[in-house]
């Protein structure tokens, strides 16, 4: 079946602009995660959605970052007033249960 999909695959933007990154999880997966992968770094947790529960936003690095998940499926990560340090690969993962996470291909964001 189809895996996790993310769009766009690449995004180049100018400093100060807002960007939206989209994640389509695997159908039926109740949990959805966003991570950020910077050059030479591991994966950094950003936010976690589980069913209808309030999301765990503890990993968001600043209030410029927000995310929503509509209808328990598609999720959008929004970065406002982008900065150069936001340049990274943003990865989405979904899970049918706790722990086992399946990752999408990521969105490579470049802020000029």
Which residues, including other chains, have CB under 8 Å from residue 55's CB and lie 6 or more apart?
47, 48, 49, 67, 69
Shorter beta-carbon distance to other proteins: residue 75 or 106: 106
Q: Which of 67, 88, 91, 111 binds other proteins (CB under 8 A)?
A: 91
Q: Candidates 42, 63, 70, 71: give the one binding other proteins (CB under 8 A).
A: 42
Site string for other proteins, 58-87 (x = CB under 8 A): xx----------------------------
Binding site for other proteins (CB under 8 A): 4, 31, 33, 35, 40-45, 48, 50, 56, 58-59, 91, 93, 95, 98-106
């Amino acid at each position: 079946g189809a895996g996790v999909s993310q769009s766009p695959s690449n995004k180049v933007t100018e400093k100060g602009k807002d960007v939206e990154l989209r994640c389509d999880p695997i159908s039926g997966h109740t949990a959805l995660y966003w991570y950020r992968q910077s050059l030479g770094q591991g994966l950094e947790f950003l936010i976690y959605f589980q069913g209808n529960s309030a999301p765990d936003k503890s990993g968001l690095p600043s209030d410029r970052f927000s995310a929503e998940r509509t209808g328990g499926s598609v999720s959008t990560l929004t970065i406002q007033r982008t900065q150069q340090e936001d340049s990274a690969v943003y990865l989405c993962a979904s899970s049918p249960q706790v722990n086992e996470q399946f990752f999408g291909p990521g969105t490579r964001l470049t802020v000029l």
